[in-house]
Amino acid sequence: MDLMNRTVSRLALAAGLVFGAAATHAATPAELATKAGCAVCHQPAAKGLGPSYQEIAKKYKGQAGAPATMAERVRKGSVGVFGKVPMTPTPPARISDADLKTVIDWILKTP
User: CATH number of the domain that 65 lies in?
Assistant: 1.10.760.10
User: Is 20 a domain residue?
Assistant: no
pLDDT value for 20 = 52
pLDDT value for 75 = 97
pTM as predicted: 0.76
User: Is 3 a domain residue?
Assistant: no
pLDDT average, residue stretch 67-74: 97
Structural domain harbouring 82: 29-109
* Backbone dihedral region for residue 77 (phi beyond 0: left; psi -120 to 50: alpha; all else: beta): left
Residue 27 clears pLDDT 90, i.e. is over it: yes
User: Is 33 a domain residue?
Assistant: yes
Q: Is the dihedral of CA 63, 29, 34, 94 positive or negative?
A: negative
User: Is 71 a domain residue?
Assistant: yes
- The annotation status of 87 as a binding-site residue, yes or no, is yes
Helix (H, G, I), strand (E, B) or coil at 25: coil
Number of domains present in the structure of the chain: 1
User: Is 1 a domain residue?
Assistant: no
In which band, very low, low, confident or very high, does the pLDDT at 25 lie, cut at 50, 70 and 90?
confident
User: Is 58 a domain residue?
Assistant: yes
Residue 78 clears pLDDT 80, i.e. is over it: yes
Number of Cβ within a 10 Å radius of residue 59: 13
Distances (CA, A) of 37 to 16, 25, 30, 76, 93: 32, 20, 11, 15, 12
- The annotation status of 41 as a binding-site residue, yes or no, is no
Render pLDDT for 29-62 as a digit per residue (tens, 0 to 9): 999 999 999 999 999 999 999 999 999 999 999 9
34 in Cβ contact with 86 (< 8 Å): no
- The annotation status of 42 as a binding-site residue, yes or no, is yes
User: Is 19 a domain residue?
Assistant: no
pLDDT average, residue stretch 79-94: 95
